[in-house]
Amino acid sequence: MRLKIVQAGEPELRQQARELSRDEILSPEIGQLIEWMRETMYDAPGVGLAAPQVGIPLQLAVIEDREQYLKDGPAELLSSRERKPVPFLALMNPRIVQRSGEEVEFFEGCLSVHGFSALVRRSRAVVVEYLDINAEPQRIEASGWFARILQHEIDHLNGCLYIDRMEPRSFMTVENLTRHWKDLPVAEVRIRLGV
């Protein structure tokens, strides 16, 4: 079942999501919600989806950066973003417990800000602690694009959208990003945009 992805302006996107209890995580209802969120993410398509994006204010996100999303990307671009496939993960009550001092900036989009993109500066690496589908504590050390996805989805669980962190002058339609900017290094984009 595909769920409706809510768009910017919906109250659920600006609220702190509620933590899940162990019993909730182990319930058939949460198991079903995870599967529906996975299908919705694939259908969009996207690399992450947080429960608030489907109107459910729970601390739950699903992530997967599928190999097929990377196959047509230029090797130089994938390398600069440190982008590699990420297997499917369902994260409950995730928390960033450590951030690198180094930050990187790339264009970022969101299924809840459909059709737009902007430059967003984020930590290059993070350590995230969360509960898995068995309500067992897990820890991820992620860098590059995987770290960006985690930060983006955890922001959703805290009522934050990428537009709150973006370089305002870089906000544009995905169509214009593709037409004018996508193949340029970020430093060149910043010069041309005057930021």
Residues annotated as part of the active site: 153
As given in the structure block, the two tokens for residue 151 are 């930060």
Report the run of H or E that residue 193 belongs to, with start and end.
helix 186-193
Amino acid at 107: F
Nearby residues of 134 by Cβ (< 8 Å), 6 or more positions away: 25, 26
DSSP structural state of residue 30: H
What Cα–Cα distance (Å) separates residue 145 from each residue in 36, 126, 152, 168, 193?
A: 24, 11, 10, 21, 23
> How many helices and strands in the chain, by DSSP H and E?
7, 8
Structure tokens at 80: 């600069």
CA angle 96, 98, 102 (to 5 degrees): 115
Length of the chain: 195
